[in-house]
Amino acid sequence: MGERSIRVRVPGTSANCGPGFDTLGIACTIYNELELTLRERPGLEFFVDGEGGDNIPLDDRNIVWRSVRYLLERAGMAEKFQGGVIRMKNDVPLSRGLGSSAAAIVAGLKAANVLVDNVFNRRELLQFATKIEGHPDNVAPAIFGGFTVNIVSRGRAQCFSFLPKLRLNMVAAVPDFQLSTRMAREVLPEKVSRQDAIFNIGRASLLVAALCKGNEYFLRQSFEDALHQPYRAELVPGMMEVFSAARAAGALGAALSGAGPCLMAYVLERDRCAGGVGEAMVEAFRKNGVNAKALVLGLDTRGAHIINE
């Protein structure tokens, strides 16, 4: 057979969740879709609808295609399938801290894996995706869905995914400028103090425990961070003011989403304050000279999946 096709949908993600630098990540109800056709003959065709249509490379440097190739090589199928067609429908904003590159990587790996008859399971896809992305905290929730705790142990990424006991909305305030993860990592110190390490260990542990138990009181104290946000604040004008505005409007807490510049507030669904929190965050950004839009998102519980329709 010369040609095979599949469609997959992958959620956007928010890494770190405040104190969980390079460790915690959550899958959100915003999606990229990929239709992948693999062909035996060489040659690539790309069709992009939505985010990134104007500025992502549409040749063999494309991250979706590189992820497809990565999987085919490991499956021993790279010789058989040398070309293909990539159709993307992207809702996840690019380079904003909502996991667009992780979504692209996971989409390529997932679609290619299905087309070679699921040679690899999700845990193996996590290894490949972490290798390509460099850290697991976006790719893991993109694969598994839910709230995830991620570690790399002896070179192997491990993901514990769970559904919080509270129903949460995530309110993303998405600025109209991009920030590269590379630049946002360059401002971080190589070493941190014991005091800052203790600060984060406490809050990251509290965040996971409070989500598991559904404890609002402790959740409100869990989103602070001392390891990355203070250093990245200079790259996101008004960051602290936007956090304060979100809390004043009823959010449990707020954090830099991944490496930013998007800021993410966490609200209880039953408080019905997500709309107001979004407006308050956008207004606080505006006062700091930043145009932003608000997105109210839910928790994605499935992770990457095939779409049949």
* Residue choice 175, 253, 258, 278 for contact with ligand HSE (CB under 6 A): 258
Give the nearest distance from C-beta 224 to ligand HSE in angstroms. Answer: 15
Give the nearest distance from C-beta 22 to ligand HSE in angstroms. Answer: 4
194-218 CB burial, b ≥16 within 10 A, e <16 = eeeeebbeebbebbbebbeeeeeee
CB 88 within 8 A of CB 8: no
CB 24 within 8 A of CB 256: no
DSSP symbols for 185-244: HHTS-S---HHHHHHHHHHHHHHHHHHHHT-HHHHTTS---SSSHHHHGGGSTTHHHHHH
Give the nearest distance from C-beta 127 to ligand HSE in angstroms. Answer: 18
* Residue choice 6, 7, 14, 22 for contact with ligand HSE (CB under 6 A): 22
Nearer to ligand HSE, 262 or 292 (CB): 262
Going by C-alpha positions, the residue among 122, 39, 53, 40 that lies closest to residue 87 is 53
Going by C-alpha positions, the residue among 197, 187, 199 that lies closest to residue 259 is 187
Residue 181 sits in the site that holds ligand HSE (CB under 6 A): yes
* Residue choice 90, 138, 169, 229 for contact with ligand HSE (CB under 6 A): 138
83-119 CB burial, b ≥16 within 10 A, e <16 = bbbbbbbbbbbbbbbbbbbbbbbbbbbbbbbbbbeee
Give the nearest distance from C-beta 148 to ligand HSE in angstroms. Answer: 12
| Contact range with ligand HSE by CB under 6 A, out of 40-48, 119-127, 134-142, 219-227 | 134-142
* Residue choice 48, 259, 264, 292 for contact with ligand HSE (CB under 6 A): 259
Residues 228-247 that bind ligand HSE (CB under 6 A): 228
CB 30 within 8 A of CB 274: no
Write out the two tokens for 182: 């590379």
Nearer to ligand HSE, 66 or 185 (CB): 185
Residue 137 sits in the site that holds ligand HSE (CB under 6 A): yes
Helix H or strand E segment including 126? helix 122-133
CB 289 within 8 A of CB 296: no
Give the nearest distance from C-beta 191 to ligand HSE in angstroms. Answer: 17
Give the nearest distance from C-beta 187 to ligand HSE in angstroms. Answer: 10
Residue 149 sits in the site that holds ligand HSE (CB under 6 A): no
Can you tell me whether residue 141 is helix, strand or coil?
A: helix
CB 65 within 8 A of CB 41: no
* Residue choice 87, 185, 293, 305 for contact with ligand HSE (CB under 6 A): 185
| Contact range with ligand HSE by CB under 6 A, out of 104-112, 133-141, 168-176, 278-286 | 133-141
* Residue choice 6, 10, 15, 207 for contact with ligand HSE (CB under 6 A): 15
Give the nearest distance from C-beta 300 to ligand HSE in angstroms. Answer: 17
Give the nearest distance from C-beta 138 to ligand HSE in angstroms. Answer: 5
Residue 225 sits in the site that holds ligand HSE (CB under 6 A): no
Binding mask 52-91 for ligand HSE (x = CB under 6 A): ----------------------------------------
Q: How far is the C-alpha of 264 from the C-alpha of 254, rounded, in Å?
A: 5
Contact residues for ligand HSE, defined by CB under 6 A: 15-16, 21-22, 135, 137-138, 181, 184-185, 228, 258-259
